[in-house]
Amino acid sequence: MNNIYIYDGGFISFISLVVELLKRKIVPDDIKLADSYEIGLFDKEVFLKVESGKQNIELIKKKLSKEALYCIYNVFLSNNKNKEMIIYDFLINYFKYNNKVFGMIRIASVNESIKISKYVREETHKLKGFLRFKKMKNNFYYGEISPTNNVIGFLSNHFRKRLKEDCWIIKDTNRGIYAIYDKKKVIYLTNNEVISLNLESSDSEELIEDLWKTFHKTVAIASRENRRCQQNFMPKKYWKNMLEMEDEIWKK
Protein backbone atom coordinates (compact mmCIF):
# COMPACT_ATOMS: atom_id res chain seq x y z
CA MET A 1 0.00 0.00 0.00
CA ASN A 2 1.37 3.40 -1.01
CA ASN A 3 0.94 6.18 1.53
CA ILE A 4 0.06 9.40 -0.31
CA TYR A 5 0.34 12.42 1.98
CA ILE A 6 -2.10 15.19 1.11
CA TYR A 7 -1.83 18.95 1.48
CA ASP A 8 -4.78 21.24 0.79
CA GLY A 9 -3.36 24.59 -0.19
CA GLY A 10 -0.38 26.49 -1.51
CA PHE A 11 3.28 26.72 -0.62
CA ILE A 12 2.78 27.30 3.12
CA SER A 13 0.49 24.28 3.43
CA PHE A 14 2.96 22.13 1.51
CA ILE A 15 6.00 23.27 3.51
CA SER A 16 4.10 22.68 6.76
CA LEU A 17 3.45 19.10 5.73
CA VAL A 18 7.06 18.52 4.65
CA VAL A 19 8.42 19.94 7.92
CA GLU A 20 6.13 17.62 9.86
CA LEU A 21 7.23 14.62 7.80
CA LEU A 22 10.89 15.47 8.40
CA LYS A 23 10.34 15.98 12.13
CA ARG A 24 8.69 12.58 12.44
CA LYS A 25 11.20 10.96 10.06
CA ILE A 26 8.37 9.77 7.83
CA VAL A 27 9.29 8.78 4.28
CA PRO A 28 6.17 9.24 2.11
CA ASP A 29 5.55 7.25 -1.04
CA ASP A 30 4.25 10.46 -2.57
CA ILE A 31 2.94 13.93 -1.70
CA LYS A 32 0.05 15.42 -3.65
CA LEU A 33 -2.27 18.41 -3.66
CA ALA A 34 -5.82 17.42 -2.72
CA ASP A 35 -8.14 16.87 -5.70
CA SER A 36 -5.30 17.25 -8.20
CA TYR A 37 -4.55 13.58 -8.87
CA GLU A 38 -6.23 10.22 -9.38
CA ILE A 39 -5.83 7.82 -6.48
CA GLY A 40 -4.53 4.39 -7.48
CA LEU A 41 -5.85 1.00 -6.49
CA PHE A 42 -2.99 0.47 -4.03
CA ASP A 43 -2.83 4.07 -2.77
CA LYS A 44 -3.89 5.27 0.64
CA GLU A 45 -4.52 8.97 1.29
CA VAL A 46 -2.98 10.22 4.54
CA PHE A 47 -3.97 13.56 6.06
CA LEU A 48 -1.33 14.50 8.61
CA LYS A 49 -2.12 17.03 11.32
CA VAL A 50 0.48 19.79 11.17
CA GLU A 51 1.44 22.79 13.28
CA SER A 52 0.92 26.44 12.39
CA GLY A 53 1.94 27.22 8.84
CA LYS A 54 3.66 30.45 9.93
CA GLN A 55 5.83 28.59 12.45
CA ASN A 56 6.94 26.09 9.84
CA ILE A 57 7.72 28.78 7.29
CA GLU A 58 9.79 30.69 9.86
CA LEU A 59 11.62 27.46 10.72
CA ILE A 60 12.40 26.81 7.04
CA LYS A 61 13.61 30.41 6.59
CA LYS A 62 16.04 29.98 9.48
CA LYS A 63 17.33 26.62 8.27
CA LEU A 64 17.64 27.40 4.56
CA SER A 65 19.79 29.90 2.70
CA LYS A 66 18.01 32.40 0.43
CA GLU A 67 19.32 30.47 -2.55
CA ALA A 68 17.83 27.19 -1.31
CA LEU A 69 14.50 28.74 -0.34
CA TYR A 70 14.20 30.46 -3.72
CA CYS A 71 15.10 27.21 -5.48
CA ILE A 72 12.42 25.10 -3.78
CA TYR A 73 9.83 27.85 -4.24
CA ASN A 74 10.56 27.90 -7.98
CA VAL A 75 10.23 24.13 -8.13
CA PHE A 76 6.90 24.35 -6.30
CA LEU A 77 5.61 26.83 -8.91
CA SER A 78 6.64 24.56 -11.77
CA ASN A 79 4.35 22.20 -13.66
CA ASN A 80 6.52 19.16 -12.83
CA LYS A 81 4.27 16.28 -11.77
CA ASN A 82 6.78 15.02 -9.20
CA LYS A 83 7.72 18.41 -7.75
CA GLU A 84 6.59 17.64 -4.21
CA MET A 85 8.83 14.59 -3.83
CA ILE A 86 11.70 16.37 -5.59
CA ILE A 87 11.52 19.16 -2.99
CA TYR A 88 11.17 16.67 -0.12
CA ASP A 89 14.31 14.78 -1.18
CA PHE A 90 16.18 18.02 -1.92
CA LEU A 91 15.51 19.22 1.65
CA ILE A 92 16.73 15.94 3.15
CA ASN A 93 20.01 16.40 1.29
CA TYR A 94 20.20 20.11 2.06
CA PHE A 95 19.97 19.46 5.80
CA LYS A 96 22.88 17.04 5.42
CA TYR A 97 25.19 19.22 3.32
CA ASN A 98 23.79 22.76 3.62
CA ASN A 99 24.58 25.02 0.64
CA LYS A 100 27.27 22.63 -0.58
CA VAL A 101 24.40 20.53 -1.93
CA PHE A 102 24.21 22.77 -5.02
CA GLY A 103 27.49 21.31 -6.19
CA MET A 104 26.25 17.73 -5.80
CA ILE A 105 24.45 17.39 -9.12
CA ARG A 106 24.82 13.62 -9.09
CA ILE A 107 22.03 13.58 -6.52
CA ALA A 108 18.91 13.30 -8.71
CA SER A 109 16.66 15.62 -6.67
CA VAL A 110 19.39 18.29 -6.50
CA ASN A 111 20.05 18.14 -10.24
CA GLU A 112 16.32 18.27 -11.01
CA SER A 113 15.70 21.13 -8.57
CA ILE A 114 18.45 23.24 -10.14
CA LYS A 115 17.17 22.58 -13.68
CA ILE A 116 13.50 23.18 -12.82
CA SER A 117 14.28 26.36 -10.88
CA LYS A 118 16.28 27.69 -13.83
CA TYR A 119 13.40 26.88 -16.21
CA VAL A 120 10.93 28.80 -14.03
CA ARG A 121 13.28 31.79 -13.82
CA GLU A 122 13.81 31.81 -17.57
CA GLU A 123 10.09 31.66 -18.32
CA THR A 124 9.46 34.53 -15.90
CA HIS A 125 12.17 36.60 -17.57
CA LYS A 126 10.76 35.93 -21.05
CA LEU A 127 7.22 36.86 -20.07
CA LYS A 128 8.38 40.18 -18.65
CA GLY A 129 9.16 41.07 -22.26
CA PHE A 130 6.42 39.10 -24.03
CA LEU A 131 3.42 40.30 -21.98
CA ARG A 132 1.30 42.74 -23.97
CA PHE A 133 -1.15 45.10 -22.23
CA LYS A 134 -4.23 46.62 -23.84
CA LYS A 135 -5.96 49.70 -22.46
CA MET A 136 -9.58 49.05 -21.55
CA LYS A 137 -12.48 51.49 -21.35
CA ASN A 138 -12.41 51.21 -17.57
CA ASN A 139 -8.83 52.63 -17.72
CA PHE A 140 -7.29 49.35 -16.64
CA TYR A 141 -4.51 47.81 -18.69
CA TYR A 142 -5.20 44.15 -19.42
CA GLY A 143 -2.85 41.40 -20.55
CA GLU A 144 -3.04 37.64 -20.92
CA ILE A 145 -0.33 35.02 -20.45
CA SER A 146 -0.37 31.25 -20.95
CA PRO A 147 2.74 30.11 -19.07
CA THR A 148 3.85 26.54 -18.51
CA ASN A 149 4.64 27.34 -14.88
CA ASN A 150 2.73 29.32 -12.28
CA VAL A 151 4.72 32.55 -12.57
CA ILE A 152 1.94 35.15 -12.31
CA GLY A 153 3.14 36.14 -8.83
CA PHE A 154 6.65 36.94 -10.07
CA LEU A 155 5.25 38.93 -12.99
CA SER A 156 2.89 40.85 -10.71
CA ASN A 157 5.77 41.88 -8.44
CA HIS A 158 7.70 43.04 -11.50
CA PHE A 159 4.88 45.15 -12.99
CA ARG A 160 3.82 46.48 -9.59
CA LYS A 161 7.16 48.29 -9.58
CA ARG A 162 7.30 49.13 -13.30
CA LEU A 163 3.66 50.26 -13.69
CA LYS A 164 2.92 51.45 -10.16
CA GLU A 165 0.96 54.51 -11.34
CA ASP A 166 -1.44 52.47 -13.52
CA CYS A 167 -4.20 49.99 -12.77
CA TRP A 168 -3.75 46.67 -14.51
CA ILE A 169 -4.95 43.09 -14.75
CA ILE A 170 -2.90 40.06 -15.76
CA LYS A 171 -4.73 36.82 -16.50
CA ASP A 172 -3.11 33.38 -16.54
CA THR A 173 -5.39 31.66 -19.06
CA ASN A 174 -3.99 28.20 -18.27
CA ARG A 175 -4.91 28.37 -14.59
CA GLY A 176 -7.81 30.81 -14.61
CA ILE A 177 -6.03 33.20 -12.23
CA TYR A 178 -6.27 37.01 -12.32
CA ALA A 179 -3.74 39.38 -10.75
CA ILE A 180 -5.47 42.75 -10.24
CA TYR A 181 -3.54 45.87 -9.27
CA ASP A 182 -5.31 49.08 -8.12
CA LYS A 183 -2.25 51.32 -7.58
CA LYS A 184 -2.02 50.14 -3.97
CA LYS A 185 -1.89 46.36 -3.86
CA VAL A 186 -2.21 43.22 -5.97
CA ILE A 187 -5.01 40.75 -5.31
CA TYR A 188 -5.40 37.33 -6.89
CA LEU A 189 -8.75 35.94 -7.98
CA THR A 190 -9.86 32.82 -9.83
CA ASN A 191 -12.39 32.54 -12.64
CA ASN A 192 -15.02 31.51 -10.08
CA GLU A 193 -14.36 34.62 -7.97
CA VAL A 194 -14.46 37.13 -10.82
CA ILE A 195 -18.08 38.17 -11.31
CA SER A 196 -17.72 40.84 -13.96
CA LEU A 197 -14.85 42.65 -15.65
CA ASN A 198 -15.23 45.38 -18.25
CA LEU A 199 -12.65 44.18 -20.74
CA GLU A 200 -13.79 46.24 -23.71
CA SER A 201 -10.87 47.93 -25.44
CA SER A 202 -10.63 51.72 -25.28
CA ASP A 203 -11.39 53.77 -28.38
CA SER A 204 -7.70 54.48 -29.00
CA GLU A 205 -6.53 50.88 -28.53
CA GLU A 206 -7.27 49.74 -32.09
CA LEU A 207 -5.17 52.58 -33.52
CA ILE A 208 -2.32 51.79 -31.10
CA GLU A 209 -2.43 48.11 -32.06
CA ASP A 210 -2.28 48.94 -35.78
CA LEU A 211 0.69 51.25 -35.18
CA TRP A 212 2.51 48.56 -33.19
CA LYS A 213 1.94 45.93 -35.91
CA THR A 214 3.15 48.38 -38.56
CA PHE A 215 6.26 49.18 -36.53
CA HIS A 216 7.01 45.47 -36.04
CA LYS A 217 6.77 44.78 -39.78
CA THR A 218 8.75 47.89 -40.71
CA VAL A 219 11.78 47.14 -38.52
CA ALA A 220 11.96 43.53 -39.73
CA ILE A 221 14.62 42.78 -42.34
CA ALA A 222 13.26 40.12 -44.71
CA SER A 223 16.67 39.09 -46.02
CA ARG A 224 17.89 38.30 -42.50
CA GLU A 225 14.83 36.35 -41.39
CA ASN A 226 15.78 33.27 -39.34
CA ARG A 227 12.74 31.36 -38.04
CA ARG A 228 14.73 28.90 -35.94
CA CYS A 229 16.64 31.66 -34.20
CA GLN A 230 13.45 33.67 -33.70
CA GLN A 231 11.71 30.74 -32.01
CA ASN A 232 14.68 30.16 -29.72
CA PHE A 233 14.24 33.64 -28.31
CA MET A 234 10.46 33.82 -28.76
CA PRO A 235 8.92 30.30 -28.44
CA LYS A 236 5.73 29.77 -30.44
CA LYS A 237 3.75 28.85 -27.32
CA TYR A 238 3.76 32.55 -26.36
CA TRP A 239 2.68 33.89 -29.75
CA LYS A 240 -1.06 33.66 -29.20
CA ASN A 241 -0.86 36.41 -26.56
CA MET A 242 1.47 38.66 -28.55
CA LEU A 243 -0.23 41.24 -30.73
CA GLU A 244 2.54 41.46 -33.33
CA MET A 245 2.53 37.67 -33.87
CA GLU A 246 -1.21 37.27 -34.55
CA ASP A 247 -0.71 36.93 -38.30
CA GLU A 248 2.12 34.43 -37.82
CA ILE A 249 -0.03 31.99 -35.83
CA TRP A 250 -1.93 30.93 -38.94
CA LYS A 251 1.18 30.36 -41.01
CA LYS A 252 2.67 26.89 -41.30
Domain shared by 242 and 140, yes or no: yes
- Label residue 252 by pLDDT band (50, 70, 90): very low
Distance CA 143, CA 167 (A): 12
Q: How many CB atoms lie within 10 A of CB 70?
A: 13
Domain shared by 110 and 136, yes or no: no
Percent of the chain with pLDDT over 90: 56
The predicted structure's pLDDT at residue 92: 96
Q: What's the mean pLDDT in 42-56? A: 79
Which residues in the chain belong to E strands, given as ranges?
2-7, 30-33, 43-46, 134-135, 141-145, 168-172, 177-181, 186-190
Domain that holds residue 86: 2-122
Least confident of 14-28, 58-72, 105-119, 205-219: 205-219
Domain shared by 187 and 167, yes or no: yes
- Label residue 250 by pLDDT band (50, 70, 90): very low
The predicted structure's pLDDT at residue 66: 95
The pLDDT tens digits for 153-172 are 999 999 999 999 999 999 99
- Label residue 30 by pLDDT band (50, 70, 90): very high
Distance CA 187, CA 189 (A): 7
- Label residue 192 by pLDDT band (50, 70, 90): confident
Whether 71 contacts 113, CB under 8 Å: yes
The predicted structure's pLDDT at residue 217: 61
To 10 degrees, the CA torsion angle through 91, 93, 98, 102?
Answer: -100
- Of 89, 122, 155, the residue that ends a domain is 122
Count of structural domains within the chain: 2
Domain shared by 137 and 177, yes or no: yes
Least confident of 23-27, 41-45, 159-163, 177-181: 41-45
Domain shared by 103 and 210, yes or no: no
Domain shared by 108 and 183, yes or no: no
Domain shared by 101 and 207, yes or no: no
Domain shared by 116 and 181, yes or no: no
**More confidently predicted of 201 and 46:** 46
Domain shared by 137 and 63, yes or no: no
Domain shared by 94 and 149, yes or no: no
Domain shared by 35 and 55, yes or no: yes
- Of 122, 146, 165, the residue that ends a domain is 122
Give how far the C-alpha of residue 138 lies from the chain's centroid of Cα atoms, to the nearest Å. Answer: 28
Percent of the chain with pLDDT over 70: 78
Distance CA 22, CA 26 (A): 6
Domain shared by 243 and 151, yes or no: yes
